[in-house]
Amino acid sequence: MSDGSDVAGDRIELRGLKVRGNHGVFEHEKRDGQDFFVDVTLWMDLAPAAASDDLKDTFDYGELAQRAAAIVGGPSRDLIETVAAEIADDVMRDGRVRRVEVVLHKPSAPIPLTFQDVAVVATRSRAAVGVAR
């Protein structure tokens, strides 16, 4: 079974999707919310879409953005690991996707030191989730 490496160059990338969410372990994070940024890279064979020039033959990145935004803007979670995993699992429901990487950034995390960003990375692949193509 392929892990996506045979189409390593074929991918769709969504970068810097800004979504307001209420995730965190502290009450003020749940109450006040904060901005999160999402990056999603999904690997799939883009040859069918390139040949047909038809949206149905690819993963609609507008839909990808809406689905990721719905998860980040959805129910409050304590951990951003949970949110990133939910996005990755959602993307993998499309059987054409061979692999996905979701990076969820929390640049306003409640850390009492100067920092640029905090992020978690969730990856899923067809081989790892045991789903046949």
- Which residues does the annotation mark as catalytic? 106
Q: Read out DSSP for 75-100?
A: S--S-HHHHHHHHHHHHHTSTTEEEE
- At 99, list the tokens: 């692999």
Task: Give the count of beta carbons closer than 10 Å to the beta carbon of residue 80.
Answer: 21
Query: Cβ(13)–Cβ(22) under 8 Å?
Result: no
CA distance 44 to 88: 14
